[in-house]
A and B are shown apart, each in its own frame.
Chain A
């Protein structure tokens, strides 16, 4: 079997010095290349911390993080990121926003001037894939929140990253928009097959999108359960109405409740 694409071994992360908050402890997880993994857990369990460790934005306090067989010791340029807040630049139109990573990441950065037309075509293609064709020249504030989030996904994917880190990307959207974007994200993943780690607190979202759902304990966070999701692709809203889907969501909910109970007992004097 091939070594995992993302490999986190017994990692701990503490903020603010020795007396600081312990966000993660003994966290381990392995993700295969091209896999879609969702990480769920109670709020404040260090999900976002996990994400920053994997992309090399912060070094872990203990343990090691490997991506693509190499230890992570700085920001990874093979990763794309999207957050709950779309963070589009208001002075750039949608096309230029999506093309921002190409102005930063090598080797695209050096080729941007020469191959501008080709890159623009790629950006337009990506925007069309998420249903934003015709909005290239619009500015972010002219778009709805859901459309901004679509553009943000395109920005995370434009440089064809092998790893996509999503931190509650649909958390601020209403339920209908959110469900639309599940389909969009699934389509993007099926078309490009990047490795995706999705951090979320929405269990239906995790069950709909992921190949595998990892459950984290409350702080200090670690992975306490994992559940493979076998529903056939391409999944649709119909999938979410089946009994199997409902059962899976219930099971995940129970695991998270267990995790919280265990912590409370452990915390008791």
Chain B
């Protein structure tokens, strides 16, 4: 791109501010635009509400059914967060163990991959037999579906410590635990947080799968009941609320990531924006 003639610092700063404002508003504009097009398309093509309800109809349904929506999404949020928390604890632990021992890695990895390949929807009936329908199958499905990315990422972070750095520390008499504590774990943190962003969204998938198979509350259950009554606007209301919860949890993970591992992005607020500089 040809460079323009030098501009005053004030003008440059103002341009940067404008750009930041645009960046902050852009997601909302895109969402608003999507709903507008959706609404217009439903009106223009006269699509029936039981096929694709208009956003206005979905909003009306949300207002009408706000109470069941609220209690059921709360139930889903709770099961998801508990399953996710279990996945963090277990995933970190297993990731550290696998990442620091070749033997454990070789022994466990095939099993882990096999386990991850099993569709979790097929596991839910088993969980229901063990724990009864409801809360625990949802929590455990969220856990089972979300721990794998955490394990893989933490293990990668720990296993890829530079050999020279390992030598420097070993030559100082550092024990394997020292190396994991001083280098492996801090180094694995960016990988860990990257995996959390994936894990939290799939955790929602897990609990909602379980709720649609066997539960008496939760947003998945609500959508199942609504669709059996052909109340499609309510089904869509459930979908949208699930999306909103997913984004909210993702945002929490990103905020913690920025606070703790800013070093990994070399001090840039957003690495994607660094390319031009």
Segment from A4-12, A71-79, A223-231, A255-263 that makes contact with B: A71-79
A69 lies within 8 A of chain B by Cβ: no
Please, which residues of chain A bring their CB within 8 A of the CB of B187? Answer: 89, 91
Residues of A in contact (CB 8 Å), total 30
B169, A104: Cβ atoms under 8 Å?
A: yes
Segment from A50-58, A124-132, A178-186, A243-251 that makes contact with B: A50-58
Within 8 A of A (CB), among B152-187: 162, 164-165, 167-174, 178, 182-183, 186-187
B267 lies within 8 A of chain A by Cβ: yes
B165, A87: Cβ atoms under 8 Å?
A: yes
A104, B164: Cβ atoms under 8 Å?
A: no
B263 lies within 8 A of chain A by Cβ: yes
Chain B residue at minimal CB-CB distance from A55: B171
B173, A106: Cβ atoms under 8 Å?
A: yes
> Contacts A87-B164, A91-B261, A141-B266 given: A57-B183 contact, CB under 8 Å?
no
A81 lies within 8 A of chain B by Cβ: yes
Scoring A residues 90 to 101 as 1 if CB is less than 8 Å from chain B, else 0, what string do you get? 110000000011
CA distance A106 to B264 in the complex (A): 30
B173 contact from A82, A105, A139, A141, Cβ within 8 A? A105
Please, which residues of chain B bring their CB within 8 A of the CB of A33? Answer: none
A159 lies within 8 A of chain B by Cβ: yes
Within 8 A of A (CB), among B205-238: none
B172, A83: Cβ atoms under 8 Å?
A: no
A61 lies within 8 A of chain B by Cβ: no
Chain B residue at minimal CB-CB distance from A77: B173
Scoring B residues 247 to 271 as 1 if CB is less than 8 Å from chain A, else 0, what string do you get? 0000000000000010110110000
19 other contacts beyond A79-B172, A81-B167, with CB at 8 A cut-off?
A: A52-B167, A56-B171, A57-B171, A75-B170, A76-B173, A77-B172, A79-B171, A85-B162, A87-B162, A90-B263, A90-B264, A90-B266, A91-B186, A91-B187, A100-B182, A101-B172, A104-B173, A104-B182, A105-B173
CB-CB nearest 9 A-B residue pairs: A77-B173, A87-B165, A83-B164, A91-B263, A104-B174, A55-B171, A104-B172, A105-B172, A87-B164
